[in-house]
Amino acid sequence: GESVGLHLPTLSVQEGDNSIINCAYSNSASDYFIWYKQESGKGPQFIIDIRSNMDKRQGQRVTVLLNKTVKHLSLQIAATQPGDSAVYFCAENIRNAGGTSYGKLTFGQGTILTVHP
Amino acid sequence: DVKVTQSSRYLVKRTGEKVFLECVQDMDHENMFWYRQDPGLGLRLIYFSYDVKMKEKGDIPEGYSVSREKKERFSLILESASTNQTSMYLCASRYEASRSQHFGDGTRLSIL
């Protein structure tokens, strides 16, 4: 039968608030994780990454937290601005049995962030 | 800045046609990727190439093929287009020592 696409999770915040976007992953063999931002009409843009042997990494206004116990990843955006409105994707890199991956990524379905002025 | 250029932003083709989507990157990246993006499904990997003339299937290769004759160019081919291949197609490239992929702005393909 025909498959039906899922509705994306949405997060709506006021300008200046902090935003937290969550992602669950499935594979404990993931080597690293990346967060991407996709604005309307554009391709995904790299935000920040984190290796699997780390718990936390900070960038400019963004922090990524990794909880390997529950296979959960989050992206925190401080002082959210209207320009942060976009779809956010988490992606994981999984090495194959031979130990190589060529940078292959498996993406989550995405979260829509809307920032109200 | 890395630039990944996809030849068309919008494309309309008919069922049964052979369709070529072209992607060029200007940073001498070894790895290149083709994804399709559908609402609610995220990005799904169709094929990737880890070097010139080298290719591997991704998660959804059926109905597609690829060509990488030169390092900077990676082509996606729909052998006989069908309506269920209507989608947004995204190309990406990656420097082998880096974790991040760099994306083009996509080709929105409609098959009628």
Q: Does A87 touch chain B (CB under 8 A)?
A: no
Neighbours of B49 (CB within 10 A): 22
Cα dihedral across residues B79, B83, B84, B86: positive or negative: positive
Are B6 and B105 spatial neighbours (Cβ–Cβ below 8 Å)? yes
pLDDT value, residue A71: 92
Tell me which residue of B61, B29, B56 sits closest to B44, measured CA to CA.
Answer: B61
Q: Does A83 touch chain B (CB under 8 A)?
A: no
pLDDT value, residue B24: 97
pLDDT value, residue A31: 86
Distances (CA, A) of A72 to A3, A61, A107, B20, B60: 27, 20, 14, 38, 26
Average pLDDT score over chain A: 89
pLDDT tens track for A6-63? 568 999 999 999 999 999 988 878 889 999 999 999 999 999 999 999 999 999 999 9
* Most B CBs within 10 Å, among A102, A106, A109, to test the B interface: A102
Are B85 and B78 spatial neighbours (Cβ–Cβ below 8 Å)? yes
CA distance B5 to B21: 11
pLDDT value, residue A97: 65
CA distance B97 to A33: 15
Q: Would the CB atoms of B41 and A5 count as touching at under 8 Å?
A: yes
DSSP letter string, B69-108: EETTEEEEEESS--GGG-EEEEEEEE-TT-S--EE---EE
